[in-house]
Structures are given as C-alpha cells and as structure tokens.
Amino acid sequence: MDFLDDNLDLVHMSETARAGARYEIGAYRLWHRHVAYLLEQAGTPDADYLAHAMLAPLGADQRMALRAEVTPARVKAGLATLARAITGGDDK
C-alpha cells in the first residue's frame, strides 16, 4: 500500500497501458503467486482466485479513484480484515 501510494502515477501507467496490462506484468504475477502460496499454506480453498481478490484493492486504477475518500490506513485495515475472513484466522 505504501509503495502504491508513493508511486501511484507510475504504477497506474504500467497497469493501464492497455486492457489487462495489470495482470500481465511480472510484478502482479509475483505478488499473486506469493499471496496464493500464503493462502494455500493457511489451508484456504481456491487460493488462486482469492489471491486476486486480495490484490484487487491494490490496483492503481481503483486507488486513484478512491484516494480522496479512502486512506492508506483504511485500505491496510480492510485487507487485514479480508485476510482474516478468507483464512478463518485471527492472526494469520
């Protein structure tokens, strides 16, 4: 979240260069695989799809649209809540 906010214009440009670009760049693939792995380790069903759901709030296009009304702290807290709900854990 911090990296995204610090580099929002650049990340937005890379993710919106063409339709679907966000999902094709190496950075997204790396983060997706990492999150999916963590979800798999937590025993989460359909970890591959849910990794996309976890990464969605970190999309530059969404962040630009909501930046004025949603603080980085709120995004972080929301992601933590989502992670707990997905994994069924309190401290995962």
* Domain contains 78: yes
Query: What is the per-residue pLDDT for 82?
Result: 94
- 12 lies in which domain range? 2-87
pLDDT tens per residue, range 80-92: 999 999 998 765 4
Give domain status of residue 38, yes or no.
yes
Model pLDDT, residue 68: 95
Within a domain: residue 64?
yes
Instruction: Please indicate, yes or no, if residue 92 is contained in any of the structural domains.
Output: no
To the question of pTM greater than 0.85 for the whole model, the response is: no
Q: How many domains does the structure of the chain reveal?
A: 1
pLDDT in tens, 12-27: 999 988 888 998 888 8
First-to-last CA distance in the chain? 18
